[in-house]
Chain A
Amino acid sequence: MELPLTALKDGESGIITSVKASPGHGGGRGWGFQKRLMDMGLTPGTKVMVVKSAPFHGPIEVHVRGSSLALGRGMAERILVAIDK
């Protein structure tokens, strides 16, 4: 099952399947956004665990590749994951 990363509860994890490009903008900044996520280690096939999310629809903290990352919610929504049972 494919879900946006933000649909996971605290402590749940999944495997990244793809990252949606930013809405409305082809190329340009969209490329920068995707590249940035890749560079931070959020590549397809990577296991991510949601640690917690900040209140009021704030950023989420994820555990990936042995490190802790804070991700803006809008960004996290565009990361699709497959949930492992």
Chain B
Amino acid sequence: MTKKKLTIALAGNANVGKSVIFNQLTGLHQHIGNWPGKTVEKAEGTLHFKGYEIDIIDLPGIYSLSTYSLEELVSREYIAVERPDLVINVVDASVLERNLFFTLQLTELETPMVIALNQVDIAKKKGIEIDYEKLGQTLGVPVVPTVAIRGIGVYKLLEAALETIEKEESKPRQTTYGEEIEERIEKIVSLVEKIGFKYPARWTVVKLLEGDEEVEKEVSKKNPDILPIVKKMAEEIEEIHGHSCSTVVTSERYELAGRIAREVQQIMPAAKPSTSQRLHDLTTHRVFGYLLMAATVLSIFYAIFTFGGYASTFLNDVFYSWEPIFENVLGKGILGELVWGGVEGIVAGVTVALPYIAPFYFLLYVLEDSGYLSRVAFLMDVAMHKIGLHGKAFIPAMLAYGCNVPACLGCRIMETRRERLLAAFVVTMIPCAATTVVVLGLVGTFVSIEWAMILYIIDLVIIFLLGRVAFKALPGEPTELIMEMHEYRLPHLKTVVSQTWFRLEEFIKIAFPLIVVSSLVIKSMEILGFLELISDALSPVTVGWLGLRPEIGISLIFGVLRKELTLIMLAALLEPAGLGVLTPVQMVVFALVTMLYIPCVATIAAFVKEFGWTKASFITISRIIFAISIGGIAFRILSLSKIL
């Protein structure tokens, strides 16, 4: 028997438990990639149920179907053009009105749908009781109450979904606007119907009235007469209401959402504030909020570096104990050395990725899922504003202290392209775990811990100043923070683990091939004796301008692979005397240059993936020039002032 195939899309606001439902439905059979040609994530999974093979698509969490963000555009195109068999609209029962606003927009897309009324437990704690049957009748859509993190209602949800698909002929009830709007829609809808547009005709008219630029453009291409008529109608509506037509349409939609919410829910305010509420008050408090944030961030770093350092050394020891075996098999010839070079690259990738990045991601996803990160974004908004970003950018910035690669990809949480680029520019300057190893291992050990701290402060000041320059130089207006702070809740372990896993997979895909290839290139140069030539060629810069030793040219080249290699290589090159032969000034200058000079090859790859070659090369080259200039200046100041 061949299985019948179905496609179901999950749609809803951010943080409503959509990805938890996705995980409950698909288990391990899932795949995360990008929407074709877009830097928007696409999560897909399969499920077998009652003789069907069901493809589940998790759409991005959004609040509307306008063109404010790429995510919104991707979602509405998917629903309208790809036409999934059904859309499951995941609704947060504790914030019904806002969620219904999105539900109404989905019904306007005339797609068959089922509502998962999720987090009914959280709603209950807030004193909200919802008559879900009445909600279903009002909307003309089946409603299934669920508590996704405990798997409650998920089976019923699937049954309801299949029933709806099998019934066919099940369009949800349409939103009715005010008379003056409805009259006008009616006048023009037949004209729009004739052009055979990808979106439903009525929805298209409403979007035209709202002034949706994308729809305007495409409709004009098909029939240029429509736009002027609609514009005139929009002006008439504006005259009646005194607000722009787009405002009127959105208001009416919200009014309807509010009316439905009031009809189906009963709110009994709790006698005392809930735990979630008290936690919220504390974590956004003007004093305690910051203290708690500092404590959280510091303990995460402490945990990661302690655990990571331990695990990394352990993995390294295991791998290097295999070196003799390799030598036996491959011999000590050129081939053997080359292959070992490649293996070393992979080893390095593993010893950084597993011990540092995996736990970092895991903890951040726990914090994000629980709702804490949105509070951090609220607290950090002011600071991020100084460099033209808003509070949400603090999240990739934190990630960057672990590793720049995920941080660069994490800049997708910013709404516009401009903001993403600006955030990525800033986060790829932040010293990652590997850079920290260099600074602490060299300056912290041989000079003093104070000097290591001073370097960090100087680096932060430089990042801040360069961020400001970039913010002023990039055309466009900064977007401001506008973010929902949902109720605190327990994170769902399985979802957090699978999110961590997919991030790790992404990192491996980007970083590993590059690390291996460039390890091979450098190893070949070493075998061919090119490295000496290069260090000689670089000596006017390394020795003349920076006041360092000629060996440093080579170690800086190795540092492009991974930053901590600068130190490892330098120690090897300076044998037998060791790192101690460097003067304190040389150590400080060297660490400063290592911090600034170039993002590692994996970060550059992530940058290319997100923003293209031109921007990546421009940033890489200007960073090298900048780092060398600053390094030389620092060398002169430090030598003249004799403070070291």
- Give A residues with C-beta under 8 Å from B: 18-19, 22, 25, 29, 31-41, 43-46, 52, 54-59, 61, 65-75
The answer to whether A38 touches B250 (Cβ under 8 A) is yes
The answer to whether A18 touches B378 (Cβ under 8 A) is no
Closest A residue by C-beta to B128: A66
Q: Residue B482 contacts which of A29, A40, A43, A56 (CB distance < 8 angstroms)?
A: A40
Q: Residue A70 contacts which of B63, B211, B261, B483 (CB distance < 8 angstroms)?
A: B483
Closest B residue by C-beta to A25: B477
Q: Scan B358-381; emit 1 where CB is below 8 A from any A CB, else 0.
A: 000000000000000010011101
The answer to whether B243 touches A65 (Cβ under 8 A) is no
Q: Which residues of A contact B213 (CB under 8 A)?
A: 31
Q: Residue B485 contacts which of A18, A39, A56, A70 (CB distance < 8 angstroms)?
A: A70
Q: Which residues of B contact A72 (CB under 8 A)?
A: 381, 385, 390, 480-482
Q: How far is A31 from B517 in the complex, measured between Cα atoms in Å? A: 47
Kindly provide the distance from the CB of B380 to the nearest chain A CB, expressed in whole angstroms: 9
Closest A residue by C-beta to B280: A68
Q: Which residues of A contact B485 (CB under 8 A)?
A: 61, 68-70
Contacting A at CB under 8 A, from B229-251, are 243-244, 246-247, 250-251
Kindly provide the distance from the CB of B243 to the nearest chain A CB, expressed in whole angstroms: 6
The answer to whether A39 touches B481 (Cβ under 8 A) is no
Q: Is B302 an interface residue (CB 8 A)?
A: no
The answer to whether A67 touches B98 (Cβ under 8 A) is yes
Q: How far is A38 from B482 in the complex, measured between Cα atoms in Å? A: 11
The answer to whether A54 touches B484 (Cβ under 8 A) is no
Q: How far is A11 from B333 in the complex, measured between Cα atoms in Å? A: 76
Q: Which 10 A-B pairs have the closest CB atoms?
A: A72-B480, A39-B64, A43-B251, A72-B481, A38-B250, A58-B382, A75-B480, A67-B95, A68-B485, A59-B381
The answer to whether B251 touches A31 (Cβ under 8 A) is no
The answer to whether A44 touches B382 (Cβ under 8 A) is no
With A35-B250, A70-B377, A70-B481 given, name 19 new contacts (CB 8 A): A22-B477, A31-B211, A38-B251, A39-B63, A39-B68, A41-B98, A41-B254, A44-B243, A44-B247, A57-B382, A59-B381, A59-B382, A59-B481, A61-B378, A65-B95, A66-B96, A66-B97, A66-B98, A72-B481
Kindly provide the distance from the CB of B610 to the nearest chain A CB, expressed in whole angstroms: 21
The answer to whether B66 touches A39 (Cβ under 8 A) is yes
Subset of 25 A-B contacts with CB under 8 Å: A18-B243, A29-B477, A31-B246, A34-B247, A35-B250, A36-B68, A39-B68, A41-B98, A43-B251, A45-B251, A46-B254, A54-B379, A56-B382, A59-B481, A65-B97, A65-B258, A66-B97, A67-B484, A68-B485, A69-B482, A69-B485, A71-B480, A71-B482, A72-B481, A75-B481
Contacting A at CB under 8 A, from B251-306, are 251, 254, 258, 261, 280, 284, 286
Q: Which residues of A contact B280 (CB under 8 A)?
A: 68
Q: Is B101 an interface residue (CB 8 A)?
A: yes
Kindly provide the distance from the CB of A52 to the nearest chain B CB, expressed in whole angstroms: 7
Q: How far is A32 from B377 in the complex, measured between Cα atoms in Å? A: 22
Kindly provide the distance from the CB of A19 to the nearest chain B CB, expressed in whole angstroms: 8
Q: Which residues of A contact B486 (CB under 8 A)?
A: 67-68
Closest B residue by C-beta to A18: B243
Q: How far is A73 from B476 in the complex, measured between Cα atoms in Å? A: 19
Q: How far is A71 from B254 in the complex, measured between Cα atoms in Å? A: 19
Kindly provide the distance from the CB of B267 to the nearest chain A CB, expressed in whole angstroms: 8
The answer to whether B250 touches A70 (Cβ under 8 A) is no
Q: Is B479 an interface residue (CB 8 A)?
A: yes
Q: How far is A73 from B386 in the complex, measured between Cα atoms in Å? A: 13
Q: Which residues of A contact B390 (CB under 8 A)?
A: 72
Q: Is B391 an interface residue (CB 8 A)?
A: yes
Q: How far is A31 from B66 in the complex, measured between Cα atoms in Å? A: 11
The answer to whether A54 touches B64 (Cβ under 8 A) is no
Q: Which residues of B contact A40 (CB under 8 A)?
A: 63, 98, 482, 484
